[in-house]
Each structure stands twice: as C-alpha cells, then as structure tokens.
Structure 1
Amino acid sequence: MSQSTVPSASRLRRTLDFALHVFWATCEQLGAFLIGICHQIADIAGVLSATIFLAFRPQSWTPPVRNVFARQMLFTSVDSIPAAMRFAAVVGVMGIVQAEMWIDAAGLSTSEVAPILWRSVVREIAPLLACLVVIGRSGIAISAELATMHADGEVEVLDSQGVDPMTFLVMPRVISVMLSVFCLAIIISITIMVTGYLIGSSVGAIRVTWNEYYGEISRNFERGDLVFFTSKTFVAGGFAGVICCLEGVRSSGRLTDVPRVASRAGIRALTAIFAISAILSVVFYEKLLVFKFG
C-alpha cells in the first residue's frame, strides 16, 4: 500500500476532534432542550399549585371572580355537552365493532368483553376525549382571549387597579377547565356505553339484556378505576388549562400574534395531555408496554 492511501496522523486527529466537537455540541443541545422542558414543567406545576391554593381560599371568590367562573363553566362545560356526546356516540359504535370482532375471532362472550370495554373507556378513552373537546373548543379560545386582553392593555389596567390577574384571570379559567374535563368525561363514558349497547343489540353484536350488560360492568368496577379516572381528568385538565392561560398572558402584546398564540397553546396543551396520559398509565399499570416493572 502506498503512503498516499494512509491517512496522516494530523488528518486523523482533525477528524477525531471534529467528531468529538459534533458529539459534545449534540449533547449540549439535548441538555439545553431537556432543561428547558423541566423549566416549563416547573412553571406549569407552580401555577397549577397556586391556582389550587387560591381556589380553596374563600377570599378569592369575590363576585367578579364568581361571575368569570360561571361564564367560563357555561362556555367550557355546558355548551360542550352536545359535541362531547356526538364524539362519544361515534366512539361507542366503533367500540362495538371492535367488540364484535373480538367475540367472533376469539370466541369470547359478551360478559367477558363488556368489562374490558368499560375499563378501556373509563381509564383511557373518556378522559382523553374530554380533554380533546375542552382544548379544541375552549382552551384555544382562552389563550386567544387572554392574549387579546394583554394586547389591549387590560391586564395592566387590572393590575394598576389592585386586581390580582392570577386570581381574576387565571384561577377561575383553570378550575373551570379541570371541572369541565371531569364532568364531560363522565358524560362521555355513559354515552359510549349506552350508545354501544343500543347499536350492538340492534345489529346482534350484543345478545344480552341491559340489566345483564350493566351487571357485568358493575361487578367488575374497581376502586382503581375511580382513582385512575379522577387523576387523569383533573391532572390533564389542570395542565391544559394552565398552558392555555400562560400562553395567553405571556404573549408579545401584539394583536397580530393572537392567532399564533392560540395555535401554539392548543398544540402544547394536546402534547401535554398525551404525555400525562402515558405517564399515568405507566405509573398505575406499573409497566411500559408489555414490560412490567419490579
């Protein structure tokens, strides 16, 4: 082999230095990204803790705050019921189609499939679907409203008048989102099961009476289902509400940025609820996919 084909020591050293530089630069960027995520989570958790603290103080619920909370509950929860029930009815029909496939393919009985459907609805589908409805219908609107108030100088006016923006603007909206997700998840769960039974019995996929169908579900209801349901709805709803509020009040203050702020709030809130749902599933089930911890 000629000497021209053998890399020189200096060339090898430069290549090694470049590779190390790329490696450490990548590690630095990854570390900065992870630190930024941790800072964001800490900010959200801090605001959520302050919101809960203020909500349990009777002094916080002045007549203007109660008025804001009532209007937000009407818009976020009550007005969202028709949309939530429509989505739940479609999901119920889809669930029955899957159940019929399980019954035919695996030879399972309805008494074996009903508890599986109920647990998947209560623990996974209903909380997630309720969060999607609330974020899509109200979360984005909250961020847009607060961003517009910031651009118009209303937040500064409230602060100059001695009104705490945290108590008047953030707290009632976050609490309303949390309660709305919880209530809508209950409505969605009931709608899915009732619609699924009605459609399933009409097409012959379910061949038992409603009392037998409901009896199988009630006999398999566990305390963990309630804990899972409550934690997912309140934690996910709290994070979604705080993210939408923070994006609104932290906007640049220009009206032209309001659509961008609203879109960013919706994406970040959706990302948060999916991450929270996955984390809580891992914690409660004590396994990641099929790998059990311990």
Structure 2
Amino acid sequence: MVEPAWKFRLVIVIRRWTLRIWFLFWFLLGHLGAFFFRRAQYGAEVLGLLSLSIRETANLMVRSRRQVFWILFKRQLYNSGYKAAYVNCVIAALLGLALANQFTLYLQKAESFADVFVVVVLRELAPLISGIILIARSSTAIVSEIGHLKLNREFEVLHSQGINAIFLFILPALFAFPLSLLLMLVYFNSVTLLSAWLYMSWYADSDISFSSLMFTLPDRISLVELIVISSKAVFGGIIIALLSVYAGYRVGERFTDISRAISNNTTALLLLFFCLNIMLSILAY
C-alpha cells in the first residue's frame, strides 16, 4: 500500500526540525561550556596572581626593598584613599541630607534614627558607594597604567633588569586598596551622620541632639556589624586591586585594548563587588 505524499513530507519536516533542534542543543551546550571554561580560567589566573603577590611579601623583610615598597604604598594610598575623600564626603553629605529630609517626619527619637542609620547607611550604602568610588577613580587608573606599561613592553625591560613587576605594581595596590576602602567608610559614615543631624537640628527643628546620637549608636553597632563591614572593605579592596592589575596586564598589542580593558573590568568589578556585599549581608544578617 502506497503511503500518501503528505505523510512523506511530514516525516521529512519532522526529521529536519529534529536535526535542527539537536544541532542547536549541542551548539548552546558548547558555548555554555566554553563560557564556564573561560570563567574558570579567569578565576584560576587571578588566584595565581594572588598567590604570587602573597609570596612577594617575603621581600618586605629586606630593608631596601621595604623602603621602596613604602614609597609606592604611600603613593597608592594617597591616590586611592586621600584624593577620593572629597568625592566620598560630598556624596555622604548629600545622602545624609536626603536621609534626614525623608525621615524627619517619622523618626523623632534618636533610637529610631540610629536604627535606620545602621541598617541603611552603615551596613549597605556606605560600603557600596565607597566601593563604586574606588572602582571609578582608582581601578580605572590602575588598568590604564598597567595597560600602557604592557603595551610599551616595559614589563620585559623590567624583567631583563631583574626587577619584579609584582612587587612594584601589585603589592602596593593589594595593601593600599583595602586600607583606602576602610578609610572611605569612616569618612562616609561620619559625614552622613553629621550632615543628617545638622539638617534635622537647623532646618527641621528636631529634638534629636548630636550627643544623644553618639550615645545611642554604639548600642546599635555590634561586633558582628564591625566584622562584616571590615570584611566588605578588606575583601572588596583586594578584589578591586587584583582584577584591575590583571585587566591591565591582559592588554594586547592594540591601543584600543586599554579602553576595552577599562570598560570590561569596571563592569566585572561592579557586579562582583555588589555580589560580595549582598552575599556577606545575607550570611551575616
């Protein structure tokens, strides 16, 4: 018995679409595997860079090298921690004004305002905004500096002269960035608190005094709070320093690679820094 023509056409169409779906499945699986492989390779290389940096700390025991490191460390700390203070303080002052303006009608007690300050500013906003400022100012500068050195093959010159580039460029940033982020947190929280109190006392005519805030806040800040906030600054600073140096060192032969490295590294750092802060907050609170 001869089958109808439409059945043959239906079988051909089904086989064709089955092959397409099968090829699409393996195509997506291959790209997904390549994506995870690149991410794993990226993470392994960054961890390798961290291990090399830790090994280079042994050179700090030599007095002459420690003096060189101290000069580079102070330079990095000045650029990343001190020169970013005015931006950090201006944003903190504006945040304090906005916080006081929004909550003046609802928070008439120092205890209530202290609770909001600890939960909103101390835990979340201060680390996030300070990290964004550090990424925007210092991370891009590190990527640009290392990228130009790599583009001009100056690392090869340093290596030929027996100078360790990790000790000169990575180690100062690895120590300076976490300390800078800790200092920025101190700036940010202090200025936010002060500007909020000034707004409430001068403009909103609030009964909350600065002394009552100072006596109330320590009761709201536990040891866990300090450990979590310090961990955000330390681990965040280390991640920013490592990825910035790594991105600069990955610059290729073209001048446009530097701008591409800055853009890609900034995006990756923002995602990682936000994930780190949120993960630590979820685990701790």
Q: TM-score, normalised by structure 2?
A: 0.88
Residues in 2 aligned to 1:205 and 1:31: alpha-carbon distance in whole angstroms: 61
Aligned residues of 1:51 and 1:170 also touching (Cα < 8 A): yes
Query: What letter matches 1:46 in structure 2?
Result: G
Determine the structure 2 residue equivalent to 1:208. Answer: 208
Please tell me whether residue 69 in structure 1 is matched to residue 73 in structure 2. yes
Instruction: State the shift of 1:49 in Å.
Output: 4.2
Determine the structure 2 residue equivalent to 1:90. Answer: 94
Determine the structure 2 residue equivalent to 1:42. Answer: 44
Instruction: State the shift of 1:200 in Å.
Output: 2.3
Instruction: State the shift of 1:205 in Å.
Output: 6.9
- Of the structure 1 ranges 117-126 and 70-79, higher mean CA displacement relative to structure 2 is found in 117-126
1:191-238 superposed Cα distances (whole Å, 9 cap, x missing partner): 111111111222327422112122221111111111110111111111
Taking a change above 3 Å as real, the CA distance of residues 5 and 278 of structure 1, as seen in their structure-2 partners, is farther
1:219-264 superposed Cα distances (whole Å, 9 cap, x missing partner): 1111111111011111111111111111112211444433332333
Q: How does 1:91-110 map to 2 (within 5 A)?
A: 91-100=95-104, 103=106, 109-110=109-110
Determine the structure 1 residue equivalent to 2:246. Answer: 246
- Of the structure 1 ranges 254-263 and 123-132, higher mean CA displacement relative to structure 2 is found in 254-263
Measured on the aligned residues, the alpha-carbon RMSD in Å equals: 2.5
Aligned residues of 2:60 and 2:69 also touching (Cα < 8 A): no
Determine the structure 2 residue equivalent to 1:291. Answer: none
- Of the structure 1 ranges 142-151 and 90-99, higher mean CA displacement relative to structure 2 is found in 90-99
Taking a change above 3 Å as real, the CA distance of residues 189 and 59 of structure 1, as seen in their structure-2 partners, is same
What secondary structure sits across from 2:251 in the alignment? coil
Percentage of matched positions with identical amino acids: 22
Taking a change above 3 Å as real, the CA distance of residues 78 and 32 of structure 1, as seen in their structure-2 partners, is same
Aligned residues of 1:240 and 1:270 also touching (Cα < 8 A): no
Taking a change above 3 Å as real, the CA distance of residues 245 and 209 of structure 1, as seen in their structure-2 partners, is same
* Equivalent residue for 1:51, pick from 50, 53, 56: 53
What secondary structure sits across from 1:162 in the alignment? coil
Taking a change above 3 Å as real, the CA distance of residues 57 and 136 of structure 1, as seen in their structure-2 partners, is same
Residues in 1 aligned to 2:127 and 2:75: alpha-carbon distance in whole angstroms: 23
Q: How does 1:9-28 map to 2 (within 5 A)?
A: 9-28=11-30
Residues in 2 aligned to 1:36 and 1:149: alpha-carbon distance in whole angstroms: 25
Residues in 2 aligned to 1:210 and 1:278: alpha-carbon distance in whole angstroms: 31
Residues in 1 aligned to 2:99 and 2:55: alpha-carbon distance in whole angstroms: 40
Aligned residues of 1:84 and 1:188 also touching (Cα < 8 A): yes
Residues in 1 aligned to 2:8 and 2:254: alpha-carbon distance in whole angstroms: 61
- Of the structure 1 ranges 51-60 and 175-184, higher mean CA displacement relative to structure 2 is found in 51-60
What secondary structure sits across from 1:163 in the alignment? coil
Larger Rg, first or second structure (1 or 2): 2
Instruction: State the shift of 1:158 in Å.
Output: 1.0
Residues in 1 aligned to 2:52 and 2:199: alpha-carbon distance in whole angstroms: 45
Q: How does 1:26-175 map to 2 (within 5 A)?
A: 26-55=28-57, 58-59=60-61, 61-100=65-104, 103=106, 109-175=109-175
Instruction: State the shift of 1:279 in Å.
Output: 2.3
Residues in 2 aligned to 1:23 and 1:73: alpha-carbon distance in whole angstroms: 50
Aligned residues of 2:197 and 2:209 also touching (Cα < 8 A): no
Determine the structure 1 residue equivalent to 2:261. Answer: 261
Gaps of 5+ in 1: 286-294
Query: What letter matches 2:75 in structure 1?
Result: R
Aligned residues of 1:139 and 1:240 also touching (Cα < 8 A): yes
Instruction: State the shift of 1:187 in Å.
Output: 1.1
Aligned residues of 1:48 and 1:239 also touching (Cα < 8 A): no
Q: TM-score, normalised by structure 1?
A: 0.85
Please tell me whether residue 284 in structure 1 is matched to residue 284 in structure 2. yes
Query: What letter matches 1:187 in structure 2?
Result: Y
Residues in 2 aligned to 1:95 and 1:248: alpha-carbon distance in whole angstroms: 38
